Amino acid sequence: MTLLDKHLDQISYCAASISELPFPRPKIFTNALLQAHDITSLIRDTEIHERALFSVPPPPPAPKAQNPSASTNRRNTIFDVNGAGSSTMGGGANAVRAPKRNTAVAAVLGTELVDKIRKGGGGGAGTGMGYRTYDNTSKTEVDVETLLEGAEKLLAVYPIPGAREKISALRQRHMQLESSLDYYENKIADQTTQLAKKNRPRSPYIDDEPDEAEGDGEAPVFQPMTDEDLRKEEEEVRTLEQKKRGLEDRVNSMGRDISGVLRLSHSTTMIDFTLTSPQLTLRTNARTFANSVLAGAPKLYSHLPTQNERFQATLPIYRTAVQAGLIKGQVPSPLGGTSESLVDAAIVVEEFFAVEPSAAITILGTGLGLTPLILGGNEELWGKFLKKFLVQEGEPIAAFVHSEPGGTANWLEKGAPGLGTTAYEEGGEWVLNGEKLWTTNSSGWDNRGADIQCVVCRQGRPNEPQDPNVDPASNILILIVTREDISHNDASAYQVLSDPELPGFTSANGPHSKFTNLRIPSSNLLCAPGKGAQIVEQTFGSSAALVGAMCVGIMRSAFDAALAFCKTDTRGGTVPIIQHQSVADKLIDIKMRVEAARALTWKALSGIEKGPGGWENRIETALEAKVWCSEQVTKCVVDAMSVVGMRSYEKSMGFSRMLDDAVCLPLFDGGNVGVRRRQLEKIFQSDGYEPWAGTYSSS
């Protein structure tokens, strides 16, 4: 509409100016820009329909007293229609915007269209040409058809290249929008009626806009159009599409509500484990990536002799994951990522661990590394540190750096030594000292550090003991250490001391690293002293439940492999061994554990985000998911091996590798015995503990 609006504005300007020129009839008229013979030639050479534009009814007599302002007195040409006596003062194009009855534009548009514009089809007091007028509680809408009809008539006299095609396209688009609006408005009305029948009023979806006001039959006084009115015309056209999108969203939302009502009326359960369409797509994409990319990872690293070499060999896999949006997919959508929920994350984790846990842990470790920043950051920190993880290129990697060589199971125990990694502020910088271990991805791809390390430390100087009378949590802070920070220090300020060799997760990175007077800017403080411990607990809360999804992936893989074997192998008998009751019973036990583990994991992750209950109730289920699932996964793999028999111990069968990976799950991300069960114990011991608040809310 912008190009057409500009042309219409130009036409209106010219027409208004022409209408004010005082040319006598039949004498020639003059203009400041044209000589007399030019005007004569123009009139002589015009076509009949063009000449008609200069034959207009005489204007009404001017008021006796006129005092034009400076802004409206740019042209004061005298036009004596009768040859003498009366005169008209011109005020420029801005003085008259709407088509008056005695203007050339009005002559082209015709009386019927002008009346339609005046009486409500396209104008109204205070709105300008092209607006319908409604009551005080409603918005105005553009009468597009009236504008297009007028534009077509003007084009018949003032042809503009390409304008007619533009008008045709706009009319077709307008018809489509009107049809869509009518459809969705009718659908909303029908669905509102259905909701009312179910006695479930949902006020947020009720359209409280009153119907359009009936016209009172009187033609409103036409007001001059301002530049603001012209801008409104363009905005109102865009509003049509916005309104359509809004109606679509409301229809979809109400459709979900109605579906929920219908389910409630025919079912006794209030829980639906059916994946949404986006979740089904997410699962398909994750499974495709796992089978086509992750599955090839062992060929890249399995022949290499050291843990670090095997880790570095997975760099092409990681780059592909970045390009596929799997790193961006671990950042919540409000912060620029594509992650919608923790349940979505569990769907991806399960698919990855069902195929290749070792390479997958590196991809997922970056999500864990970013979690403290996501939970404890602000707009400035997010903008500064998240940017490279939202661009689907390169190999940005992140690490959550908490565990230490001496263990961290009792790191917040009052009177204990506390964390060995310390930091103190000096000269606008934080000085970091200490050693870390089992910190996934922390060394980066070249042993010079990950792009971002969220380092948990204790406020204090090196070798300075913790005050036994002070709550250790009051001194816990989190610093963000980047590769750039490390490069600005001496090479000895950050060192990778070793990479422990692992029987499972053979390509994972969990180095023993050391900070020695590493200086980082004070602006890299993520959590001030006293606030870091809470972010650590929240970070490990969500990761605990995601360990449950890792367990489900491995259990599922073991079940699938055992089931396929039992359905095809007779073990020297006459029928496949699944037809023997003892074998079937083992498979049934495995399948039940898989389903129960997945349900507990999804419940835990949903509860963390949505409740019910307070934080202790929410994290309780996450802890239970981590403990129970990780203690079932080894049982499932062993049971699967037992039905296959001795052949399951052969490396090519894959069961031994599953077992090597599964054994780690009860130990990492907070060991079950030293950390997770102790957290549950503390929750159970607390005053006012409500065992079922995480399911039914507080009683």
Q: Which residues are the active-site residues?
A: 669
Q: Tell me if 330 sits within 8 A of 339, measured CB to CB.
A: yes
Length of the chain (residues)? 699
Dmax of the chain from CA atoms? 124
Cα–Cα distance measured from residue 296 to residue 669, given in angstroms and rounded to the nearest whole number: 26
The Cβ of residue 6 has, within 10 Å, a number of other Cβ atoms equal to 12
In angstroms, rounded to a whole number, what is the distance separating the alpha carbons of residues 108 and 576? 90
- From CA 172, how far away is CA 167, in angstroms rounded? 9
Q: What are phi and psi of 631, to 5 degrees?
A: -90, -10
Q: Is 645 helix (H, G, I), strand (E, B) or coil?
A: coil
Give the C-alpha distances (Å, rounded to integers) separating 445 from 44, 366, 398, 441, 448: 84, 13, 11, 8, 8
**CA pair distance 94, 228, nearest whole angstrom:** 13
**DSSP characters over 94-105:** GG--S--TTSHH
Give the contacts of 305 (CB within 8 A, at least 6 positions apart).
none
Q: How many CA atoms lie within 13 A of 55 on its CB side?
A: 8
The 8-class DSSP code of residue 521 comes to E
- CB 97, CB 128: distance < 8 Å: yes
Cβ atoms < 10 Å from Cβ of 601? 30
**Integer Cα distance of 432 and 494 in angstroms:** 10
Structure tokens at 612: 């019910």
Helix (H, G, I), strand (E, B) or coil at 554: helix
Which of 231, 132, 215 shows the shortest CA–CA distance to 178? 132
Can you point out the beta strands (E) in 261-420? Answer: 398-401
Q: Are 87 and 62 in contact (CB under 8 A)?
A: yes
Distance CA 549, CA 361 (A): 12
Give the gyration radius of the chain's Cα atoms: 38
Extract long-range pairs of 651-656: CB within 8 Å, 24+ residues apart.
Answer: 653/561, 654/557, 654/561, 655/558, 655/561
Dihedral sign computed on CA atoms, order 546, 548, 552, 555: positive
Angstrom distance (rounded) from CA 119 to CA 408: 80
Q: What is the DSSP letter of 427?
A: T
CA-to-CA separations, 491 to 429, 451, 514, in angstroms, rounded: 18, 16, 11
Q: What's the DSSP call for residue 672?
A: I
In this structure, the number of other CB atoms found within 10 A of the CB of residue 170 comes to 17
Task: List the one residue out of 323, 326, 331 whose CA is nearest residue 351.
Answer: 326
Dihedral sign, Cα of residue 501, residue 505, residue 507, residue 513: negative
Burial 610-619 (b: 16+ CB within 10 A, else e): eeebeebbbb
Q: How many C-beta atoms surround the C-beta of residue 347 within 10 A? A: 21
Nearest to 83 by CA among 16, 22, 18, 20: 22
Q: Which helix (H) or strand (E) is 496 found in, with range? A: strand 494-498
> Is 69 exposed, middle or buried (CB count within 10 Å of its CB: 0-12, 13-18, 19+)?
exposed
